[in-house]
């Protein structure tokens, strides 16, 4: 089955700086890679996703890149703000179409 | 309003006392699943259902049961809860295997 590894587990950044979270996956048939944000005490919510036929996707201050050859994908947050503080999860679909999540990254944005 | 609901939101119980956590969605989604979230382990899938009367095991199914008698409902059943099932549980639904909409979560403590 699919195995998704996510790094780092915690990330502290100064407000205004950029944050990068990296994930690797094992199943070369994976074709969908979403990122979820979970604020404290809340449910995970989709913030951006990318499919295997696209190398990069951007939505305002967040962007995701995908390297299919290396089987890794990354989330980039620019100009971080305090409201970006949350746990971020990457995920990848396995060859059965089932989502497998990474362990999560706790992002703390300090003013 | 499109949503996934779960009940109860909080539950404290004792070892061996059967319990059911309900999940309902109003988006006519075929695909529903249950996850448990534990610190450092991310979101691990317990069971999923691709349609009415079709269910299958996820990554951590031991000690859990599910049923899908109607499209909108997907209850999680713990026949004999144990302390290692203390966790935060999320139900999710999607129109396909891709974007998942999560319920608000159920925090379960088994004493």
pLDDT of residue A98: 81
Distance CA A49, CA A47 (A): 7
Q: Which two tokens stand for residue A111?
A: 């003013």
For residue B45, give the chain A residue with the closest CA.
A100
> How far, in whole angstroms, is CA B95 from its chain's centroid?
17
- Is residue B97 predicted with pLDDT exceeding 70? no
Q: CB-based contact (8 Å) between A52 and chain B? A: no
Are A63 and A56 spatial neighbours (Cβ–Cβ below 8 Å)?
A: yes
Above 90 in pLDDT, residue A95?
no
User: Measured between beta carbons, which residues in chain B are less than 8 angstroms from residue A103?
Assistant: 40-42
Residue B42 has its nearest CB partner, among A42, A98, A101, at: A101
- Print burial letters for A75-102: b (CB count within 10 Å at least 16), e (below 16): bbbeebeeebbbbbbbbbbbeeebbbbb
Which tens digit of pLDDT belongs to each residue from B47-95?
Answer: 999 999 999 999 999 999 999 999 999 999 999 999 999 999 999 999 8
**Of B42, B58, B103, which is closest to A104 when you measure between CB atoms?**
B42
Mean pLDDT of the A53-60 span: 92
Query: Which chain A residues are closer than 8 Å to B99 by Cβ?
Result: 34, 46, 49
Contacts of A45 in chain B (CB under 8 A): 102
DSSP assigned state of A2: -
For the segment B15-36, what is each residue's pLDDT rounded down to a tens digit? 999 999 999 999 999 999 999 9
Chain A residues whose beta carbon lies within 8 Å of the beta carbon of residue B40: 9, 103-104
Q: How far apart are CA B43 and CA A88, in angstroms?
A: 11
Check A89 against B102: CB less than 8 A apart.
no
Residue A44: which of B45, B96, B102 has the nearest Cβ?
B102
Chosen for mutation from A3, A44, A50 (greatest number of chain B CBs closer than 10 Å) is A44
Q: Does A47 touch chain B (CB under 8 A)?
A: no
Average of per-residue pLDDT across A60-89: 97
Q: How far is A63 from chain B (nearest CA, A)?
A: 17
Cα B61 to chain centroid distance, Å, stands at 11
Rounded to a whole number, what is the distance in Å from the CA of A45 to chain B's nearest CA? Answer: 7
Answer with the residue of higher pLDDT: A92 or A1. A92
């Amino acid at each position: 089955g699919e195995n998704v590894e996510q790094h780092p587990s915690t990330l502290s950044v100064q407000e205004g700086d950029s944050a990068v979270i990296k994930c690797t996956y094992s199943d070369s048939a994976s074709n969908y890679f979403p990122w979820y944000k979970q604020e404290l005490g809340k449910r995970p919510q989709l913030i951006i996703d990318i499919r295997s036929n696209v190398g990069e996707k951007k939505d305002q201050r967040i962007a995701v890149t995908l390297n299919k050859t290396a089987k890794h994908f990354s989330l980039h947050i620019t100009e971080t703000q305090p409201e970006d503080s949350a746990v971020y999860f990457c995920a990848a679909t396995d060859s059965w179409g089932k989502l497998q999540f990474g362990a999560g990254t706790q992002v703390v944005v300090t003013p | 309003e499109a949503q996934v609901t779960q009940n109860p939101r909080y539950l404290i119980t004792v070892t061996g006392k059967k319990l059911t956590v309900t999940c309902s969605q109003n988006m006519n989604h075929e695909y529903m699943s249950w996850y448990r979230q534990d610190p450092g382990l991310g979101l691990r899938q317990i069971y999923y259902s691709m349609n009415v009367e079709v269910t299958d095991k996820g990554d951590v199914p031991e000690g859990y049961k599910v049923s899908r008698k109607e499209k909108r409902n997907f209850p999680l059943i713990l026949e004999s809860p144990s302390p290692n099932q203390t966790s935060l549980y999320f139900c999710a639904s999607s129109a396909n295997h891709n974007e998942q909409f999560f319920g608000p979560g159920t925090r379960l403590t088994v004493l």
